Structure 1
């Protein structure tokens, strides 16, 4: 049986920070044993601890905390952009990743900020409109432009944020934390990649990004805004259930013992979003029946684990690669599948303590009202 009391404490600490941190940050609350953190909706449910944990693990982090993450990322990016402009580089900024999609599970989440060149772009050929693009104003090769942006950023950021800890060793990003920063911020230099689809539509979600890999001096193509659009659209179609599924998978991995977590984390947040995305109509449950998503995920993961042909043909939402493009991810899938089996059985035992055999209908038919 899962220790849901321990899980609830871990979930609370992830979402709101530890009680000690909250006490330290709250000047008016210095009494020993006081927990100044506010109660969240899942904590007040008139349900068992397993159900409280599961519903809480599906819930979005408090909007105020998410806004702090976005604002801190924007503050760092805007400061860098202003300095880069003074050093001859024209760039803009965009948020990507879990915070942008609101599928992060920590109140104090890191935020990824793309720093994108604006004076030249990479265009997919043949162009849709031969007269649609003017010659680049910068004569340097694209790879050299973004290399210079990276090098200048590594010089500028320690000057602009002298009290922060700045790690420039990352191949794709520069990490900032501490000092005046309320959140860890990753700066990711990149260029636009204007796909033929984007040239026709003019919609940003059809536009690609090429991230600069400093270590190998190459570009890495991805489509973060396509991914965001597709996940948001499917989540809206199913009344927010897709993001609930993604957050629940991420929280279960976060609460695993380290020996399991090391393997399970081979499935990235991007991979987990893709796994949930392919649940399709299994996401179709009323909001008050969301506990049933536990069984729906369990069955979906079991199917992925058992049927290699099905698993091997699943792609991430934007179609850019297969989800299971590395055998190490299959080992992670096995652990995650077992974890959801344990979760489902543990909740079932709370609901039906005198039943010896697991019956999925107990979870699928259980309504939970906030």
Structure 2
């Protein structure tokens, strides 16, 4: 049995921070303490909370909704602030780098108001060029004699030295293989700094579109570069989301919130599916995403059916590729185990909502959720 009241509280806390945190961010210490003791909640009421619907429907609709735009702007601003500060110091030390935002915040599929921000710090010159070159004379020879992996390593080492000096009050964690994490002090958000180099694919050399350009992220422990196409991923998710009136991102957020609300023993398994994997799973729902915005509750049932098919068919599951075409979604057995738990959780959600709507019915009827209209003011 799903405790939707508990889940609504968790959802609210994720999206806006706890009631206590909001009070201390809004008032001086004495006034904040007084407000907390009196049970005052200064957080604004969101649209899903105002619905004249059951708690299960409120939860599902809220779990699909984007985080407040103002909070997202703060996340992006903090990412830019840290990256710009680092870039300035790196340039002084002889490194030519630029920045790009990647990850969930870039796509607006994050589920926390105080979400982590992923900032790529990318070497501008030299770049890694996929051969054969489309235009042999399109690139000037590099004046830097170092290997590309050594250049990326040097940017990582210098960043590890610079960030604690430039942000002395923040906690700087350099143990991650792909990123350096900063948190606390003057920072309003946790920021992950990801050193990388450009990878100019043949497709990018022909198009000149950054969405076709790759990056190779430096892996600290292995001292190697890992190829990614974050901008291709962002472009494809945005395009499909636009086609289906924002419904793709609604499903991605729903999946992420469902995982966030799982007990730890389930979450430990399901976290083998990354945010990137979840976006890819939802991406392959295709035309099943085509529902009116006032019938978004149907996405719960559509997602349930999609995950059930995926879980039941290894052949279909193994055929699915991430949007940018770089690998299979289910490339480990652990991800198949994670899918099974996630599919069961979404099925439980659908049944629980159905029972709220039709409490006297015993057999689940998907048409009830598929045809339910929910109007958000």
- Name the TM-score, length of structure 1 as normaliser: 0.99
* 1:1-370 paired onto structure 2 within 5 Å: 1-27=1-27, 29=32, 30-31=34-35, 32=37, 33-370=39-376
Aligned-residue CA RMSD (Å): 0.7
CA distance in 2 between partners of 1:18 and 1:350 (Å): 28
CA distance in 1 between partners of 2:2 and 2:312 (Å): 24
User: Secondary structure of the residue that 2:20 maps to in structure 1?
Assistant: helix
Shift of 1:138: 1.4
User: Secondary structure of the residue that 2:139 maps to in structure 1?
Assistant: coil
CA distance in 2 between partners of 1:124 and 1:266 (Å): 31
User: Secondary structure of the residue that 1:121 maps to in structure 2?
Assistant: strand
Give the number of aligned pairs.
Answer: 370
CA distance in 1 between partners of 2:154 and 2:270 (Å): 37
CA distance in 2 between partners of 1:141 and 1:362 (Å): 61
CA distance in 1 between partners of 2:107 and 2:206 (Å): 25
CA distance in 1 between partners of 2:150 and 2:315 (Å): 42
CA distance in 1 between partners of 2:182 and 2:199 (Å): 26
CA distance in 2 between partners of 1:192 and 1:182 (Å): 29
User: Secondary structure of the residue that 2:245 maps to in structure 1?
Assistant: coil
CA distance in 2 between partners of 1:7 and 1:310 (Å): 32
Shift of 1:137: 2.5
Shift of 1:156: 0.5
Shift of 1:37: 0.3
Shift of 1:141: 1.1
CA distance in 1 between partners of 2:248 and 2:125 (Å): 37
